[in-house]
Structures are given as structure tokens and as C-alpha cells.
């Protein structure tokens, strides 16, 4: 019997203590509490954090209350926190919202060329990765020699692999060029110093069994002519959207095949005595699904 009474007494004490503790924790933070914390020499950051994490506050921010806080040397930063103890997080800006959508052409993008094409999941943006190409002649050296240099020699850009990695069946795709800087000469290294789509050529590549190729220069005894084969050129138009950002649209729907954007700065690789590899931006257009 005594044990049962003792247990009841312990439970009652625990219940009362719990209520007192809850009441103590639920006590709102007031002006007096803030003035006390200032008197202890706590920093503004600590006091403001205490205000923000408080489950309840009861601040007097009337003119009289502000006068008392000022007299107690409460800083303006702390007073602002007392006026709005639980601020709402700032709404994301339009720019921040666009940044969350990598398929929005108006979003900030890393420098590069992006395909903007229809997919089963809607319109998407895909970055064209730079592809290395090698140079070689078309075998016209012997012919040129026996004709005393009258016959033309053709230099070609040769891309290993029969097909580009990036493919799309959207024949009316668009492209977006994002340059690193709007100032001339400061573009991304992948662009080879170019700063406008006007310095690029869109080409339809010749497809071979294990590679793709296109003519980038012809030469004979009377001189060399850097430039692509006109039959391979695909006309396009471009619009400057803002500094360093351009929209590029082929003038006609693209036929199925292998394509690339080639920078005019790469043609120098095939001048007399030049050697080495350059980069282009390749993609493929597939037959409609």
C-alpha cells in the first residue's frame, strides 16, 4: 500500500515538474530579456540568433519601447530583429528561378554551343562537346606534281567515328551560343578566340565507314584557298540576345546526316607547314521517329 502511494507521489511530482518546465520554456522573449543580454556583453549576432530561434516573443517596439531600448544601448541591428523576429525567407529572384532550369535559354549557361531541340520529354538543351579532328590531304599531291602544280590539292578535316555522340530527330532544332566574355578576344578557349557565330560555319559532313570528313582548304601552284566546300555549307541566321549570347537558326530544316560547327580560326591548321589537331562541335540529325 505504501509503495503504491509513493509511486503516485513520484508521478505527481514529475507531472508538476513537467508542467513548470513547459511553462518556463514557453515564456516569450521580451524587451527585458534583450536588455539583460546586452548587459551581459553578448554580441549582436548571438542576441539576434536567440531572437530568431525563440518559440515565442513579446517585444514592445512602440516609440516608448524603442526609447527604452536605445537608452539601454541596444543596437539598431538587434532592434530590427525584434521588430521582425521571424522573417520569411526571401523569394527567389527571376534570375535564380531561371538558373534552376537548365533547359531555359535565358538561364545562365557555361560557355559553349547548345542544341535546343524537341524530345519525348519536351524541349531540351544539350551542350555540344568539342571534338578533335585531324588534317589530311585527299591524295592529290601526285596529281599536282605531274601537272606542275595546276591540279588542286584538297585538305580535309577528318573526325574519327562514323557518328556523333549527340543526336536528335528534330530537323528544326535551334542553337544557342554562350561566349564567356562579351569583349573581343576574351572568349572561351573552346571557341579559339571567336566571339560571334559569324565566325563559324555549319557543315554537313561526308559520312564514311569509320569516320566523317569535310574539305577545309584547297591549293595549287597559284595559291591556297582556306575555306570549306560550298556544297557542304548550311546557311543559318543568328540573333544577338544579349552581350555574349546568340540564337542561331538554320535557314532550312536539317536533313538527316552528320553536321558540325567549325570555327574559321581552325583553318590555319592546314596552311603550309602547319600541323596538329583542331576542334569542332559535331552532332547528328536522325530520321524522324
Are residues 40 and 106 part of one domain?
A: no
Using one digit for the tens of pLDDT, what is the confidence trace for 90-103?
A: 776 665 555 678 89
Are residues 174 and 50 part of one domain?
A: no
Are residues 103 and 51 part of one domain?
A: no
Q: DSSP strand E in the chain: where? A: 29-30, 57-58, 112-119, 122-128, 130-137, 153-160, 167-168, 174-178, 200-204, 206-207, 211-220, 223-226, 236-242, 245-250, 257-263, 278-285
**Number of domains observed in the structure of the chain:** 2
Domain annotation covers residue 277: yes
Domain annotation covers residue 281: yes
Q: Which of 83, 112, 127 is the last residue of a domain?
A: 83
Are residues 202 and 128 part of one domain?
A: yes
Are residues 68 and 121 part of one domain?
A: no
The residue that leads in pLDDT, 96 or 179, is 179
Domain annotation covers residue 216: yes
Q: Which of 83, 107, 131 is the last residue of a domain?
A: 83
Are residues 111 and 64 part of one domain?
A: no
Domain that holds residue 250: 95-285
Using one digit for the tens of pLDDT, what is the confidence trace for 57-85?
A: 999 999 999 999 999 999 999 999 999 98
Are residues 258 and 170 part of one domain?
A: yes
Using one digit for the tens of pLDDT, what is the confidence trace for 147-176?
A: 344 445 677 888 889 999 999 999 999 999
- Give CA–CA dist 70/89, Å, rounded: 28
pTM beyond 0.85:
no
Are residues 173 and 236 part of one domain?
A: yes
User: What are the backbone angles phi and psi of residue 154, rounded to the nearest 5°?
Assistant: -110, 130
Query: What per-residue confidence (pLDDT) applies to 89?
Result: 76
Are residues 14 and 73 part of one domain?
A: yes
Are residues 237 and 132 part of one domain?
A: yes
Amino acid at each position: 500500500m505504501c509503495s503504491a502511494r509513493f509511486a503516485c507521489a513520484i508521478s505527481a511530482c514529475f507531472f508538476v515538474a513537467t508542467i513548470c518546465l513547459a511553462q518556463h520554456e514557453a515564456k516569450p522573449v521580451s524587451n527585458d530579456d534583450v536588455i539583460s543580454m546586452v548587459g551581459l556583453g553578448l554580441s549582436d549576432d548571438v542576441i539576434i540568433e536567440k531572437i530568431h530561434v525563440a518559440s515565442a516573443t513579446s517585444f514592445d517596439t512602440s516609440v516608448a519601447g524603442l526609447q527604452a531600448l536605445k537608452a539601454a544601448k541596444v543596437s539598431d541591428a538587434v532592434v530590427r530583429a525584434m521588430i521582425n523576429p521571424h522573417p520569411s525567407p526571401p523569394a527567389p529572384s527571376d534570375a535564380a528561378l531561371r538558373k534552376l532550369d537548365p533547359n531555359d535559354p535565358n538561364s545562365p549557361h557555361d560557355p559553349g554551343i547548345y542544341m535546343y531541340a524537341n524530345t519525348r520529354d519536351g524541349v531540351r538543351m544539350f551542350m555540344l562537346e568539342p571534338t578533335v579532328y585531324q588534317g589530311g590531304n585527299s591524295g592529290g599531291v601526285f596529281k599536282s606534281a605531274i601537272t606542275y602544280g595546276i591540279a588542286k590539292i584538297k585538305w580535309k578535316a577528318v573526325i574519327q567515328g562514323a557518328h556523333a555522340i549527340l543526336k536528335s530527330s528534330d530537323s528544326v532544332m535551334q542553337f544557342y551560343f554562350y561566349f564567356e566574355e562579351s569583349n573581343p578576344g576574351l572568349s572561351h578557349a573552346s571557341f579559339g578566340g571567336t566571339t560571334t557565330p559569324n565566325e563559324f560555319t555549319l557543315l554537313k559532313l561526308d559520312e564514311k565507314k569509320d569516320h566523317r570528313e569535310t574539305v577545309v582548304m584547297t591549293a595549287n601552284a597559284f595559291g591556297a584557298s582556306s575555306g570549306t566546300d560550298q556544297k557542304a555549307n548550311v546557311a543559318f541566321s543568328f540573333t544577338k540576345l544579349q552581350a555574349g549570347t546568340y540564337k542561331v537558326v538554320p535557314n532550312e530544316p536539317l536533313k538527316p546526316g552528320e553536321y558540325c560547327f567549325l570555327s574559321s580560326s581552325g583553318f590555319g591548321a592546314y596552311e603550309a607547314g602547319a600541323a596538329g589537331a583542331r576542334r569542332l562541335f559535331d552532332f547528328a540529325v536522325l530520321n524522324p521517329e
